[in-house]
Amino acid sequence: MKIGITGARGLVGKVLAARLRKQGHDLVLYTRAVEGRWEELESAEELRHFSPEVAGDTDVSGLHALIHLAGEPVLEVWTAAKKEQIRASRIDGTAGLVAAMEACDAAPKVFVTASGTGFYGDRGDEVLTEESEHGEGFLSEVSQAWEAEAMRAQALGIRVVCGRIGMVLGSEGGAAPKLKTLFRWGLGGQLGSGKQWMPWVHVEDVAQMFIHAVEQESLVGAVNFCAPEAVRNKDFTKALARQVKRPALAWVPAPVLKLVMGGLSDLVLMSERVESVSLRESGFEWSYADLQAALAEVMA
């Protein structure tokens, strides 16, 4: 198959591209700067231009599938400007890609876009499946609008999957390297009450989830891209401490986190007990269903 990927230089994108290459697929990688080649390219994939500002002009013709991962990073302090960048990169970029698919003669058969478990908001101990309603807050509002733009492609006869991704664990980026450093400095520990549920997923699994979504025609709409079960923050903290062989002595109260991190504290204080029902029912097999095994690989 000929598969296009936006955001192929990110944590998930690199692993996904490597897997698709190994499987023999032809790749089209989208980048803001098509003049140069990426050093990490292992073969002669085609490069095409993509940016949220002019996404409607993106060339998406001739693809069997388009996987959309591009978006402004959220693991930074949320100033007003940063929040607008997060919003625009996801919502405007996705809307533009749908417009591009509508305009081309040979549109992709399937459109798989990233979304986030932030869709559900802070829900305590409630078990959250793909059938659960949306929550409240900035991340939920962005995810709702993001998915709504993606789902407009269904009117073009394109199958659409919105992967609601939990916290991605990988050694090359995301939260794991930052947490590893904090714990080795003796600064790791429980955040807030520690009772909040954290949806997580190993980067190798989430890359396979995108491939699975392309291949499995039964998957449509929202799909939770997470490990089979979420864990409480206090249990995640203990598991991480065991892997880095450091005590988890620190405790950061919620008010302090909110004072220091502002809105970004939502990422670590929200409780989202997310289950991946659609993936399980579609026959997906996790390589890292166990948190301890996932952390052992990431922290090695």
- Tens digits of per-residue pLDDT, 225-247? 999 989 999 998 888 888 877 77
Say if pTM beats, i.e. exceeds, 0.95: no
* Total domain count, the chain: 1
Residue 254 lies in a domain: no
Residue 190 lies in a domain: no
The CA distances from residue 234 to 195, 249, 250, 299, in Å, are 6, 11, 11, 18
In whole angstroms, give the CA distance from residue 159 to residue 213: 10
Residue 262 lies in a domain: no
Residue 289 lies in a domain: no
Residue 296 lies in a domain: no
Residue 147: both structure tokens together: 């998915």
The mean predicted confidence, pLDDT, of the chain is 89
- Tens digits of per-residue pLDDT, 281-297? 999 999 999 999 999 99
| pLDDT on residue 101 | 96
Residue 255 lies in a domain: no
Q: What percent of the chain has pLDDT over 90?
A: 66
Position 38 pLDDT exceeds 80:
no
Q: What is the CATH number of the domain that holds 81?
A: 3.40.50.720
Residue 94 lies in a domain: yes
| pLDDT on residue 52 | 85
Position 10 pLDDT exceeds 60:
yes
Burial classification of residue 50, based on how many CB atoms lie within 10 Å of its CB (0-12 exposed, 13-18 middle, 19 or more buried): buried
Domain that holds residue 218: 2-169+201-227+275-284
| pLDDT on residue 279 | 97
- Tens digits of per-residue pLDDT, 98-137? 999 999 989 999 999 999 999 999 999 999 999 999 999 9
- Tens digits of per-residue pLDDT, 177-203? 777 776 776 666 777 888 999 999 999
Residue 11 lies in a domain: yes
Place of tokens 């962005």: 142
Give the 3-state secondary structure of residue 155: helix
Task: Determine contact, residues 227/200, Cβ cutoff 8 Å.
Answer: yes
User: In whole angstroms, how large is the CA radius of gyration of the chain?
Assistant: 19
